[in-house]
Structure 1
Amino acid sequence: MELRQLEYFQMASRLKNITRAAERLRVSQPNITVAIKKLEAELGIQLFDRSQKQLSLTPEGAVFLNRIELALRNIQDAVLEVNDYKQLQKGTIKIGIPSMIGSYLFPKIFSSFQRRYSHLDIYLYEEGSMAIREQLERDELDFGIVIISGASQNLQLLPMSTNQILACVPEHHELASKESINISDMNDIDLIMLKEGSYLRHLVLQKLKSANITPNIVLESNQIETIKGLVASDVGLAYLLDFIAEDTPGIKALPLEEPIFVDVGLAWKKDRYISKAAQSFIDFCKGTLSLQKGNIQK
């Protein structure tokens, strides 16, 4: 039994898809298929139920996955710790970023960090905040720069900013003359939403549900510039964070009568070993945050 086989099985189990697992692990699909078949042959059991369209674990496969999760995590942490003792000048950091935050906030952090730590390899993964937080708990990512409001207690959080959710309407829309938006104004309004996995989407849908409003979602996208362009073209209304929505041509960004604020920040798993590469990123973000606060006080 090889470590590689276990890693391939683990990723295929998480993603429920061989092709996506191959893409995530940066190997060919046949490599994963062959490795899993060899693993099944060695164990003498079938790990996956292949009769369904989506790959799913057999009961035996679920038990096996549960057992190897901790073992693989301990091996990963052991390798990181040994590498730290060897004081290697290389390291990797895997960071998850929602498109909304990635497009506007992260480039400033990333460019400065990369200049200072050019010897580190950084891999970026774009998902919604909720999806990224789940991936952090499964040890698939080192960090997430996400909406941290409502995050699990299993995550360590470094708040970086507090932001307001604004309703974005075309500048000539009848709602654009209002000072603020009431949730009742959303009745029979076409909405453009972020895709599943977005915490902002989750909050907005929760708010609409509490008001007994069934949302009329006409389009879903994680491309922020596309969403803003569609709003400006009068395709529908959208909810975005203030630093993204404000001062956008063709759009009026309005606060809600009952404001919704969320915290944006850095998240990582509490009980995971922190490599020197990862610690350098935490320290950099803390330093950047302190510098920003100092500039504001001046």
Structure 2
Amino acid sequence: MALPFDLRALRVFLTVANRGGFSAAAHELHVAQSAISQTIANLERRLELTLFHRHERRISLTAEGQSLYVHAHELLERADAAHLAMRELHGLVKGEVRIGIPSMLGSYYFPPLLMGFKERHPGIQLTVVEAGARQLQRMITDGELDLGVVIEDNESRQMERRHLLREEMVVCVPRDHPFAGRNGVTPEEFFGEPLVLFQEGYFHREFVDTLARQNGLSANVAFQSNLIPLTKAIVHKGFGITTFLRRVIDGPDLVAVSFDSPAWLDLSLAWGKGAYLSRAETAFVEFVSAHPL
């Protein structure tokens, strides 16, 4: 029995739904708006369903359209993976690896790794996306990223992973701070200070929030910033303290002090459960495994 749609029609349908209109979809797909409208009309006629509510200035998915959206998204992902697999049987390698990296790692840990991979594979384009670890995890699950760095915990265990790094989270204070000469700082002492923290969704903030919850404490947030140089400047001027991965504290004006007891984070390079990795992506995973941070 013939299906009432083809992959092209489903791509048009998803584009219209994602862009919220026929005109925007036509612009993205570089075709006439009339062709988009006709494709959707034919799809609705074949399915004998109305997929979109047509409003005067916008459109929205009907309940039937929402159901098709879920299935169409999954079907096209599988079709794209199959197409890539067939191309690679002919020796064609995907030309891009999309990887998501939290800012702290992207600035202080990954540059030599990325440059080394690029030197070995100059034909592969690397696209690096900076975001919080939780957002990266969602982007991998949704297929927006091929690979990403995630925290090793119960949620990330639902993904394919390769251990990447175990690093200590330390208290960061200016050199003249009373904590600077200490061997360790207790959670009570840390949360007794004004803090400079990343926004929610970043592993830095999640670490602090978890530490507070485990000890029945709360954070006195003086500043929120995802910009590492700005955070360092605020700490240096004495307006608050923070916590970083140890390697991030690399200048003469700031001091790293361990927590009492020392706190460690485990981070992994992850990709979707059962997802197909191209040769380029597999090469990147293998390169990372062979060159520990």
Normalising by structure 2, report the TM-score: 0.80
What do the CA deviations read for 1:260-282 (whole angstroms, capped 9, x no partner)? 21113311123011111111112
Q: 1:255 aligns with which of 247, 253, 258?
A: 258
Show the counterpart of 1:162: 166
Structure 1 residue ranges, 4+ long, deviating more than 6 angstroms after superposition: 47-51, 55-58
Show the counterpart of 2:4: none
- Counterpart secondary structure, 2:268: strand
Show the counterpart of 2:15: 8
Q: For 1:36-75, what aligned pairs fall within 5 Å after superposition?
A: 38=37, 43=44, 44-46=50-52, 59-75=63-79
Distance 1:257 1:56 in 2: 54
Give the 3 Å change call, closer, same or farther, for CA 271–218 of structure 1 in structure 2: same
Show the counterpart of 1:295: none
Aligned-residue offset at 1:56: 9.0
Show the counterpart of 1:284: 287
Q: For 1:89-104, what aligned pairs fall within 5 Å after superposition?
A: 89=93, 91-104=95-108
Show the counterpart of 2:273: 270
The answer to whether the 8 A contact 2:102-2:130 is kept is: yes
> More deviation in 80-89 or 94-103?
80-89
Give the 3 Å change call, closer, same or farther, for CA 156–62 of structure 1 in structure 2: same
Aligned-residue offset at 1:231: 1.0
Percent identity of paired positions between Structure 1 and Structure 2? 25
Give the 3 Å change call, closer, same or farther, for CA 74–124 of structure 1 in structure 2: same
Distance 1:278 1:48 in 2: 41
Root mean square deviation, CA, Å = 3.2
Please state if 1:78 is matched with 2:82. yes
Aligned-residue offset at 1:111: 0.5
Please state if 1:128 is matched with 2:124. no
Task: In structure 2, give the amino acid aligned to 1:138.
Answer: D
The answer to whether the 8 A contact 1:93-1:123 is kept is: yes
- Counterpart secondary structure, 1:167: strand
Task: In structure 1, give the amino acid aligned to 2:51.
Answer: I
The answer to whether the 8 A contact 2:197-2:205 is kept is: yes
The answer to whether the 8 A contact 2:94-2:278 is kept is: no
What do the CA deviations read for 1:163-194 (whole angstroms, capped 9, x no partner)? 11111112222333432111111344221111
Show the counterpart of 1:141: 145
What do the CA deviations read for 1:200-219 (whole angstroms, capped 9, x no partner)? 31121121123332222222
Distance 1:98 1:142 in 2: 15
The answer to whether the 8 A contact 2:100-2:129 is kept is: yes
Q: How many residues end up aligned between the 2 structures?
A: 271
The answer to whether the 8 A contact 1:49-1:57 is kept is: no
Give the 3 Å change call, closer, same or farther, for CA 187–120 of structure 1 in structure 2: closer
Aligned-residue offset at 1:104: 1.1
* Structure 2: unaligned runs, 5 residues or longer: 1-7, 45-49
Task: In structure 1, give the amino acid aligned to 2:27.
Answer: N
Q: Whose radius of gyration is greater, 1 or 2?
A: 2
* Structure 1: unaligned runs, 5 residues or longer: 13-17, 20-27, 293-298
Task: In structure 2, give the amino acid aligned to 1:259.
Answer: P
The answer to whether the 8 A contact 1:101-1:146 is kept is: no
Show the counterpart of 2:190: 186
Distance 1:64 1:190 in 2: 50
Task: In structure 1, give the amino acid aligned to 2:74.
Answer: L
Aligned-residue offset at 1:250: 1.7
The answer to whether the 8 A contact 1:191-1:236 is kept is: yes
